[in-house]
Structure 1
């Protein structure tokens, strides 16, 4: 397989004219050459944090607080999830996964409610699609064993020591929400030595030092944080101390579009377009231990091809900046997963 156009190569996303060559799903070469294609070829996205089960309740709960919306066990989402039958849940999640696939997302790190049944549901929803979610079970150790790891709600909900020990013994991924509403759950979350944290809106200096000392990455979800009115993470301080990835969080409150999340983050924070594109691709891949997220030999050929001559992108002077701040679903030409 060969894909021609402007290739955003490597971790710096250096734009080069030429072609990507792939065999058996793996990138084997990036060749610089003069080509006629207007395509822009970028790595497919890795959405580093989602709750796709919320697809049954898009835009429900307007005006509710974060606790009223999502706190277990009686937040609105949990009540709605309990009432939904399995077929309804699977069908709704499949629609969201199909949308993510069509807009260039190769995988998502999904915190999956509902124990083993919840893990089975998202596996069923993804069956036959090319998007391949990394599923972190919740609520029980059995769910972790059926999934790719464990996604903890937050250290104020439970201590999660047994779950962390079991996840480590299984050599699987462990992530946990922390610092979303306030700072009270950050130290207990860090004590668990997680593979990554989600949100970190309210870190204090000690927490930032611990992040740096333990090299724990953070997934930020700024659109979600604004919708739930918890504030915004101190991105400059976090970025100085650890690596950041992007997630779209609850489908209840936000579309699972990495285009929208990138544009929002790039315009809201003092981050370069290159850094934001890393956060939307290779940073999430690194967290999940995946071999995608970059265009370089030896990586999986999971690619997103944009029409650089679309009405929206034609005339762009800075290719990376236009991908991050301007591109959208209407510019997608091909998704190769």
Structure 2
């Protein structure tokens, strides 16, 4: 397979006119050459933090606080998940995953409620799609038998030492929410030596230093944080210290669109378009242990092809800024996945 156009190549996403050559699901060559194609070829997205199970409750809970919406075990989402049948859950998750796939996401890191049964339901929902779930199970240690890792709600909710130890012994990653409501649970979360943190809206200097010293990656979700009223993560400060990836968080509150998340982050936070694109691609891939997110030989061919001659993108002078700040699902010409 050969994909001609303007390629956002390498770790700096430098626009190159040429073609990407793909064989057996792997990028084998990025060739600089003249081409008549107006397509823009960039790495496909890796959504670094989702709660796709909440697809059953989109836009529920208007006017509720964050704790009333999502806090275990009695938050609205947990009650709605408990009330829904397995068939309803699987169908609603599948619809969200189809939307994600059409919008250029080929992998996502999911914090999945419901223990073993919850993980199995998500895997069923994703079974016939070209979007790969990297699933962090919750609620019971036994979930590590079927999940890719363990995803903890937060150090304020419980002592997750046993789950952290079990994940380590299983050779699987452990992630935990921290600093979403306030700073009080950040040190406790870092004491668990997690493989990554989620949110860090209220990170203070001492936390930033600890993150840098431990080289702990962070998944941020700016749209979700703003809609729940907890604030905006200090994205620029976090980027100075560690790997920062971009997630869309709770499908109950936000569509799982990486286009929307990138535009929001680029326009709200003091970060460049290449930094945001890296957050949406390579950074999430690194946290998930996937060999993608960069267009270079030897990488998995997870690629997004945009129509550079669409009404929205025609006349673009800076392809990277266009992908991050302007493009949307209507501009997608193709999504390539191994």
Fold-level match, TM-score > 0.5?
Answer: yes
How far did 1:142 drift? 0.9
Map of 1:175 onto structure 2: 175
1:241 alignment partner, SS class: coil
TM-score of the pair, normalised by structure 2: 0.99
* CA distance in structure 1 between the aligned counterparts of 2:212 and 2:115, rounded to whole angstroms: 33
1:13-35 superposed Cα distances (whole Å, 9 cap, x missing partner): 01101100011000000011111
Does the alignment pair 1:131 with 2:128?
Answer: no
2:2 paired with 1:2: yes
How many residue pairs were aligned? 337
Whole-Å separation in 2 of the counterparts to 1:85 and 1:282:
36
d(CA) in 1 for partners of 2:179 and 2:253? 19
Q: Give the aligned partner of residue 258 of structure 1.
A: 258
SS in 2 for 1:198: strand
- Could you tell me how far 1:216 is from its partner in structure 2? 0.4
Instruction: Map 1:306-321 onto structure 2 (within 5 A).
Output: 306-321=306-321
Name the CA distance, whole Å, in 2 between partners of 1:228 and 1:183.
Answer: 16
**C-alpha separation in 2, matches of 1:259 and 1:234:** 20
Partner of 1:30: 30
Identify unmatched segments of 5+ residues in structure 1.
none
Using the alignment, how far apart are the partners of 1:70 and 1:178 within structure 2?
14
Structure 2, unpaired ranges of 5+: none
- Residue 234 of structure 1 deviates from its aligned partner by 1.6
Superposition RMSD in Å: 0.6
Q: How does 1:227-306 map to 2 (within 5 A)?
A: 227-306=227-306
In 2: Cα distance, 1:309 partner to 1:192 partner: 49
Question: Hey, what does 1:46 align to over in structure 2?
Answer: 46
How far, CA to CA, are the matches of 1:203 and 1:40 in structure 2?
Answer: 36
Q: Shift of the alpha carbon at 1:233?
A: 1.1
Distance in 2 separating the partners of 1:144 and 1:227: 32
**Distance in 2 separating the partners of 1:224 and 1:166:** 30
Question: Which stretches of structure 1, 4 residues or longer, exceed 4 Å deviation after superposition?
Answer: none
User: Counterpart in 1 of 2:71?
Assistant: 71
Q: CA deviation at 1:169?
A: 0.9
TM-score between the two structures when normalised by the length of structure 1: 0.99
Partner of 1:150: 150
